């Protein structure tokens, strides 16, 4: 093994430029969440293994397990949903329902690294716990839409489906409940392997050719939401559970315009399966067509998971934003803050004698709300200090020399244009705010 310093494969260091964008994403999402009344929650990244085991279906093989020196079997957090269920059960006497909660932090999965997928990744989750109302489902979709718009995305589509519609598709094709899981798994791969690949998957799992054809016909329906729902209603006539799911989707969709969700940002997509086994109702994912990145985020209703911990039914709906995916895509598209550094102003040190006056200027600008970095070596020439500030990407440098001090002025140098001018010391903050 090489002794060369390196981070663990699938986990990344985030240098300042990357962290500025990541912090912008997190701050933007937090702001939207809190505007809708969601409250922050933080849970540990380590849980007892029994807390996570048996909760996420086929993906359980990706959980990082290990044993402590004391013999406790523990696991790294796979996502923030199962820990939320544990929190609800553990603190249910202290919480008021329905409860809007958000959580932002790391999760870990032992999967093969690929574009947009890492072994350590950050998620921003929101959930409404304790309400079965379709308004709750609609509000989650509204927060999703508002969040992506606030980050600067356009041209995204939120695909919406219902788990009982997929179950109805399986039943309408002559399959029993036991076979439905195989149908979900096959359909979930549609964007990766295409219709022919899904057909092959279904046939391999024992689905008859005519049943596979009917399944593909239904899941590939597309068009206006009302048209897709009408077509599904006709094809699934006589299936009470599927008809109930269709009515539930109609109710959710009816609230979206009132919550400010534009009609061109969502579609009913019978092909959407969502891989995690705990979803019980509506499911949704947001995708960008260009550049292709797969799912930006996803979520849905899971009415049984929280209740399994709490010992009573607790309906819940939520979603998770993948910070890694948002970061990588925004970086690729040149979105987010233009600055490579947090500092807005660099205060130079003319010489040792004038250093206290320069530091006092920096102090006053910080008090006025600016992010200010100062030079540290009064012996450095101004040219070297300007070069440093420019390399850091700081837009303005200030000089306070003996003549400037005598006149009560400060030299403001725009490092992007190279222009500079003298400004009265009391007017420096206003000049910086104006960008001059």
For 315-358, write each residue's pLDDT tens digit. 999 999 999 989 989 998 999 998 889 999 999 999 999 999 99
How is the beta sheet containing 73-76 ordered, strand by strand?
46-48, 73-76, 65-67
Do 137 and 252 meet the contact criterion of CB atoms below 8 Å apart?
Answer: yes
Report the binding-site residues for L-histidine: 79-81, 109, 123, 127, 274, 278-279
In this structure, the strands spanning 316-322 and 345-347 are unpaired
The domains of the chain, with CATH numbers, are 16-333 (3.30.930.10), 345-434 (3.40.50.800)
Q: What tokens does 77 get?
A: 């957090």
d(CA 39, CA 99): 8
Q: The whole model's pTM is what?
A: 0.88
| pLDDT class of 299 with cuts at 50, 70, 90 | very high
d(CA 163, CA 171): 12
Neighbouring-strand partners of residue 128: 100, 317
| pLDDT class of 276 with cuts at 50, 70, 90 | low
Q: Cβ–Cβ contacts within 10 Å for residue 74, how many?
A: 17
| pLDDT class of 392 with cuts at 50, 70, 90 | very high
> In the prediction, which pLDDT does 184 show?
73
d(CA 359, CA 374): 7
**Residue 109 clears pLDDT 80, i.e. is over it:** yes
List, for residues 24-64, the tens digit of each pLDDT value.
999 999 999 999 999 999 999 999 999 888 877 767 888 98
Residue pointed to by tokens 């959710």: 252
d(CA 385, CA 303): 60
Do 135 and 256 meet the contact criterion of CB atoms below 8 Å apart?
Answer: no
Of 173-187, 214-228, 259-273, 314-328, the least confident: 173-187
d(CA 206, CA 189): 17
Between the alpha carbon of residue 3 and those of residues 7, 9, 68, 79, 369, the distances in Å are 12, 15, 27, 32, 45
d(CA 337, CA 194): 37
Do 226 and 263 meet the contact criterion of CB atoms below 8 Å apart?
Answer: no
**Residue 234 clears pLDDT 80, i.e. is over it:** yes
Between the alpha carbon of residue 346 and those of residues 100, 234, 372, 415, the distances in Å are 42, 68, 6, 10
> In the prediction, which pLDDT does 366 show?
98
Report the binding-site residues: 79-81, 109, 123, 127, 274, 278-279
User: Is the model more confident about 201 or about 156?
Assistant: 156
**Residue 436 clears pLDDT 60, i.e. is over it:** no
> In the prediction, which pLDDT does 230 show?
96
């Amino acid at each position: 093994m090489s002794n060369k310093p390196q981070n663990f494969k699938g986990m990344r260091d985030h240098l300042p430029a990357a962290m500025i964008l990541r912090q912008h994403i997190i701050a933007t999402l937090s702001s939207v969440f809190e505007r809708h009344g969601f409250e922050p929650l933080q849970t540990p990244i380590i849980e007892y293994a029994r807390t996570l085991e048996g909760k996420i279906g086929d993906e359980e093989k990706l959980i990082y397990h290990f044993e402590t020196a004391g013999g406790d079997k523990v696991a790294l957090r796979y996502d923030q949903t199962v820990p939320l269920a544990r929190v609800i059960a553990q603190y249910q006497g202290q919480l008021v329902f329905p409860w809007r909660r958000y959580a932002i932090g790391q999760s870990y999965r032992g999967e093969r690294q690929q574009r947009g997928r890492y072994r350590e990744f950050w998620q921003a989750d929101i959930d409404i716990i304790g309400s079965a109302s379709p308004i709750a489902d609609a509000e989650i979709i509204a927060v999703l839409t508002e969040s992506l718009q606030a980050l600067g995305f356009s041209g995204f589509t939120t695909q919406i489906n219902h788990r009982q519609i997929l179950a109805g598709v399986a039943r309408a094709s002559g399959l029993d409940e036991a076979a439905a899981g195989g149908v979900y798994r096959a359909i979930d791969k549609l964007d990766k392997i295409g219709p022919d690949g899904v057909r092959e998957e279904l046939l391999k799992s024992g689905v008859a050719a005519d049943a596979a054809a009917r399944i593909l016909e239904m899941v590939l329906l597309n068009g206006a939401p009302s048209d897709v729902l009408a077509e599904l209603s006709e094809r699934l006539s006589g299936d009470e559970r599927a008809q109930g799911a269709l009515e539930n989707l109609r109710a959710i969709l009816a609230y979206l315009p009132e919550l400010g969700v534009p009609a061109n940002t969502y579609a009913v997509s019978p092909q959407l399966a969502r891989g995690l086994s705990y979803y019980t109702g509506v499911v949704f994912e947001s995708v960008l067509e260009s550049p292709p990145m797969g799912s930006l985020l996803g979520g849905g209703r899971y009415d049984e998971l929280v209740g399994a911990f709490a010992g009573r039914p607790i309906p819940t709906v939520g979603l998770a934003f993948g910070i890694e995916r948002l970061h990588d895509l925004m970086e690729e598209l040149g979105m987010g803050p233009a600055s490579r550094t947090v500092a807005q102003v660099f205060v130079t040190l003319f010489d040792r004698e004038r250093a206290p006056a320069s530091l006092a200027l920096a102090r006053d600008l910080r008090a006025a709300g600016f992010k200010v970095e100062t030079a540290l070596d009064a012996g450095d020439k101004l040219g070297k200090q300007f070069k440093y500030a420019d390399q850091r990407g700081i837009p303005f440098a200030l000089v306070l020399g003996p003549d400037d001090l005598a006149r009560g002025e400060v030299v403001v140098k725009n490092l992007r244009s190279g222009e500079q001018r003298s400004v009265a010391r009391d007017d420096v903050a206003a000049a910086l705010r104006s960008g001059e």
